[in-house]
Amino acid sequence: MKKVLLLSLIVLCASFAKAQDIVNLRMDRQQMGLRGYVATMDEDILLRKDYFREDWPERKWFVKDLRNVLREDDGRIVTFNPAGRMLTITYTRQGKRGKTTTCSYASNGLLSSFVGEGYKVEAKYNGSMADINVYAETKDYKSVNLAKADLNTTPYTNSYPFDLKCRQELGDDGLVLKSSYYYVDSMPAKVCEYSYNHNNLLQSEKIIDYTSGEKNVSTVKYTYDNRGFLIKKVTAGKALDETVTYENNEQGDCTKMTVERPYGTVVYTFVYKYDAENNWTVRLQFEDGIFDNAALRTLTYHKAPAESKAKADKKGAKQDKAVDKKGSKGKDQAAIDKKAEKERLAAEKQAAKEAKARQKEEMKAQQERAKEAEKNMSKEERKAAQAARKAAEKAEKERIAAEKKAEKERLAAEKKAQKERAELDKKAEKKRAEADKKAGKKKAAAEAGANASKDELKAAKKAEKERIAAEKKAEKDRKIAEKQAEKRRKAAEKAAESK
C-alpha cells in the first residue's frame, strides 16, 4: 500500500511541462503546461472500444466524433484562480464525478493542504524546511459483497490513517532540493536529491529507494534545448534502465517520445489541436504507429488583467473629447447602441452559420460510418440499416427545415423591434431639438435687450430650466422606448425558439 500510494502521489503532482517527477508543493497552471489565464480545465481520456478499425484515425470525421467512436475512461476537472493557483480537482470515471480535491496554500505560496483520490497531504513550513504528512485513504463498504458489487457506485465511509512522512529541503524560490520519505515507524522509504540548471529546470535526480526491502540507487539526468524544452531523460539503476528522447512542437508539447530499454524500444507519437490561447484541446496518442488513446480538453478563461489606471484615464479622456466634438451625448449614445446592436446581430448570424456547418459535417461523418458498418453486414441487416439511415436523414432534414423557419421568424421579429426602437429614438430626438430651439429663442430674446427687466431675466432662467427638463425627459423616454423594444425582441426570440 505504501509503495502504491507514494507512486500515485508523485504522478499526480508531477509537472506536465517540465521534468520534475517529484512531490511538488506548487499547484498552478504553469506547472500543468497551460498558457493564458485558464479558469477551468475539463479533461477526459478516451480509449478504444472493443470494435475499432485501425483506419479510422485516418478519416476526416475521426477527430470530430471521438466521443462516439471511443469510450470515456478517467478524467479530471481542474479550477484555477486568476493568479494561476490550482483551487480544486474533481476526478471523473467514465463520465461520473468522484471526489473533489481541494488545495490550501501557506503564506509562502506553497501547498499546505491537499485531499485527493486515495490520500491526504498536510504540509507545515519552518524557513527552508517542509514537513509533509501523507495519509492513506481506507474505505469501509460495510456489509457489501465486494466480489459482485460495483465499487464505483457503492456508498462507503472513509478515513485517513497516517501512512508516510516526507521532509523536504527547499531553495529560496521554493524548488525542492531534497525529499526524505519515512514510514510510520520512522524507517526510511525513499530519499530523493535534486539539482537544477540556471533556468531552474530540473537537471538531475538521485533516488535511494527502500520500498522493496533493500537499498536501490538510481540516477536521472535531464537535457533541454535552447528553448527550455525537455529533449532527453536518462534513467540508470537496478530497477530501471532507460533512455527517453523527446521531440517538441513550437508550443513546447511533445510530438514524439522514444523510450529505449534493454529489452526493446517503443515510439509514441502525439497529434494536437489548439485553441486561440495555444492550449491543446485534442491530443491523439499512437504507440508504434497504432492508435492508443485520445485526450479531450474543454477550457475556460478568466478575463485578462484590467488596463492600468493611467491608461484607462487617458482612454476615457479621449472618449469624452470625441463626445464633445460630436455634440449631443444622447445622440452619440444612440449611434453607439445602434452599432453594438448591428455587431451583435452579425455575430449571431456567423455563429448560426458555423453551427449549421458543424451539423452538416457531423451528419456526413455519421453517414460515412454507417456505410462502413454496412459492408460487414448480411443482406437483411444492410437493408434494415439503410432504411433506418434514410429515416434518420429524413428526420434530420425536417429538423433543419424547422430550425430555418424558426430562425427566419426570429430575425423578422428582431427587425421589427429594431425598426420600432429607431422610430421611438427619432421622436425623442425631435422633441429634444424642439425644446432646445424654444429655450434658445427665449434666452436670445432675454439677452437682446441691454436694459432687460428683472422679469425678462427670470423668464430666461425659467426657459433654460425648461430646456434642461425637456432634455432629461427626452433621454428618459428614449431609454424607456429602448427597454420596451428590447423586451419585445426577447419575447419574439423566445416565441421563435419554442416553435
Quick one: pLDDT at residue 256? Answer: 96
Quick one: pLDDT at residue 437? Answer: 77
Quick one: pLDDT at residue 34? Answer: 92
Contact 464, 319 (CB under 8 A): no
- Rounded to whole angstroms, the Cα distance separating 360 from 352 reads 12
Quick one: pLDDT at residue 127? Answer: 87
What does the DSSP 8-state code read for residue 51? S
Q: What's the average pLDDT block by block, 10 residues per block, for the chain (499 residues)?
A: 35 34 66 90 92 90 90 90 88 81 83 77 88 81 69 69 84 86 85 90 90 86 93 90 95 95 94 95 95 95 68 55 49 61 66 66 68 69 75 76 76 76 76 75 61 63 79 78 74 63
What does the DSSP 8-state code read for residue 450? T
Contact 133, 162 (CB under 8 A): yes
Quick one: residue 153, left, alpha or beta (phi over 0 = left, psi -120 to 50 = alpha)? alpha
Partners of 356 in the β-ladder: none
- Rounded to whole angstroms, the Cα distance separating 395 from 445 reads 75
- Rounded to whole angstroms, the Cα distance separating 113 from 121 reads 6
CA 364 vs CA 36, 199, 282, 358: distances in Å: 35, 50, 21, 10
493 membership: H or E segment, kind and range: helix 454-498
Q: Which of 280, 296, 279 is nearest to 95 (CA)?
A: 296
414, 417, 422, 426: CA torsion to nearest 10: 180
What does the DSSP 8-state code read for residue 277? T
Task: Please state at what angle helix 454-498 crosses helix 379-448, rounded to 10 degrees.
Answer: 170
195 membership: H or E segment, kind and range: strand 188-196
Concatenating the DSSP letter of every residue in 121-154 gives EEEEEETTEEEEEEEE-EEE--S--TTTS-TTTS
Which residue blocks in 70-222 are alpha helix, DSSP H? none
- Rounded to whole angstroms, the Cα distance separating 99 from 425 reads 55
